[in-house]
Structure 1
Amino acid sequence: MSDAGVEVDVPFTLYDRAAFLPAADALVLADLHLGRGAASNVDAPLGDGTDAVDRLDRLLAETSPDTVVIAGDLLHSFSTLPRGVEDDLLDLGATVDRAGASLVVTPGNHDTMLESAFDGTSIDEYRLADGETVVCHGHERPAADADRYVIGHDHPALSVDGRKLPCFLYGPGEYDGADVLVVPAFTRLAPGSTVNGMRGRDFQTPLVADADAFYPAIRGGSFEEALWFPPLGECRRLL
């Protein structure tokens, strides 16, 4: 591992594929893509729903949030609900309920079936309790003004010493003066988009224009604390 760690002052705490915002008492994750395993051609795919719910349960125990917000693409399939997805959704809701939290989903571009499968709170853009942060999927420009946006959509990953790792991207003031935090896909079935060589035009979200200004960070696995790297424009030569 390169000695690339830097100090970045942020108003959130990074966990394994999720972010906790203390001022809003909210846990944000994105891109669960429930049903992706069942829809794949893999003979014995990872039980993506059970895996996601189990990992969320551990995060809830660690962070005790008041609100859990899923920043889009809760579902994977555009036109069907693969077998087991409805049970996974019930388990997800029950897990959040047991933790004493409320669940909010901001639909993503994959969530065309969400209305027929999820009867909880769903809103395109959700403003957190801090009043400063808006969560949305990130596939479209947000309508709401905010000091900070938390999004998913691009499934960022960082290649470090030959290993591809899910990563966060943080751009202070990078969207019309607002901060942007891009969280990695919560599903472990998504391969991720390797951001090392990506420019703004390579991102699917309109909230990342100057990718070189975004700080990558990795957390999870052997990394018990978030490891921050210099902005992409500077750290490419280090990786």
Structure 2
Amino acid sequence: MVGLALVFVSEPALALRPYDSTDADVAKQGEFELELGPVGLRRDGSKRIEVAPAVIGNLGLEGNRELVIQGQREVALDREPGEPRSAIVDNGVFIKQVLRQGTLQDASGPSIATEYGLLLPSVNGEKGTGFSVAGIVSQRTEDISVHLNAALAWTREHEPDLFLGAILEGPYSWVVRPVAEVFAEQASGGPRITSGLVGAIWRLRDGLSFDIGIRRAHDGNETIRELRLGLTWTFG
């Protein structure tokens, strides 16, 4: 998915810091989970883009569901004449539903969830509206957590899109755990995107974690490099 003049690049609707994919868990009923990226820098080929802030809000609902609202501001540091300096992109509203309680809910076996919703228009970017639906499977052991994602979307440019992603995390009991993600995405008529990320999550205390991620991706002939810094704060 490519934004105006190839400066503002849309990301999948799925998101869990510092990834593009997500896990098969939701916020508890009545809790609010803020995923905030106050510092981010991306280089798309020769163009530098500041991503600040990137915001996702998750509100826990009854029935093992949550409401997800997201968006992020991007500032072009190397814009061409006539291009907007900033844009608000990746806007969306979704419902995430746990279909099977598993290890992420302190039960046995895999956790299974779905996430579906609307891809909303950008400000100074893609003007259309789309939708997406995803399936998520997660499994956690003492040594590793695995989260598998598959999503189908009708993009803001009204093209079909397929996203496949996988997250690997080190032992959840560690205060600082290593993490990694790979994903591939293909929109009809567009280049294939392949991406890899490595990083770490530092759990300062229950309900507050900080994260860092370093990402490298290929979007057709373009090479993308990105630094992500952020936090996840749960309260309520």
Q: Given the two structures, how large is their TM-score scaled by the length of structure 1?
A: 0.33
Q: Given the two structures, how large is their TM-score scaled by the length of structure 2?
A: 0.33
Give the structure with the larger strand fraction. 2
